[in-house]
């Protein structure tokens, strides 16, 4: 699977987002080590603090299935006018399970995407230093 196909899975997932308040749907797709894909969507709540982002939904579902590392991550924000990057909490969670060189692509459409890595999104990750 290439990164564009993974992004397309994130875009498809976004259609299942629960975003009645913001009207801002997000889909995420994670490529797992065995080639499987885990998707996630944002799930809003009228108490915004209880909202969960698409990236974390995908990570938590993958972890529940027994996965502890990822090969690539794609995030689609079809309701935005520009590429919207993962929030700080999602960057922290992604760095817990994905090595710094893990590819990340995000955007509102494939033609308007940003391609980066987990390490570039979260450059000063002390977590892996603590684990030594």
d(CA 120, CA 132): 21
User: Which candidate in 9, 55, 120, 129 is catalytic?
Assistant: 55
Residue 73 CA from chain centroid, whole number: 6
Q: What are phi and psi of 103, to 5 degrees?
A: -65, 140
Within 8 A by CB and 6+ apart from 24, the residues are 42, 77, 79, 80
- Residue 52's DSSP bridge partners are 43
User: 5 an active-site residue?
Assistant: no
**Catalytic (active-site) positions:** 55
């Amino acid at each position: 699977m290439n990164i564009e196909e993974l992004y397309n899975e994130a875009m498809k997932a976004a259609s299942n987002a629960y975003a009645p308040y913001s009207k801002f749907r997000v889909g995420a797709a994670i490529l797992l080590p065995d080639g499987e894909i885990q998707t996630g969507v944002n799930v809003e709540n009228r108490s915004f603090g209880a909202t969960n982002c698409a990236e974390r939904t995908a990570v938590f579902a993958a972890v529940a299935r027994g996965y502890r590392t990822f090969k690539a991550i794609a995030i689609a924000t079809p309701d935005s006018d520009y590429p919207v990057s993962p929030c700080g909490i999602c960057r922290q969670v992604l760095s817990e399970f994905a090595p710094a060189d893990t590819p990340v692509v995000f955007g509102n459409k494939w033609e308007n995407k940003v391609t980066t890595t987990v390490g570039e999104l979260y450059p000063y990750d002390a977590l892996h230093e603590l684990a030594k």
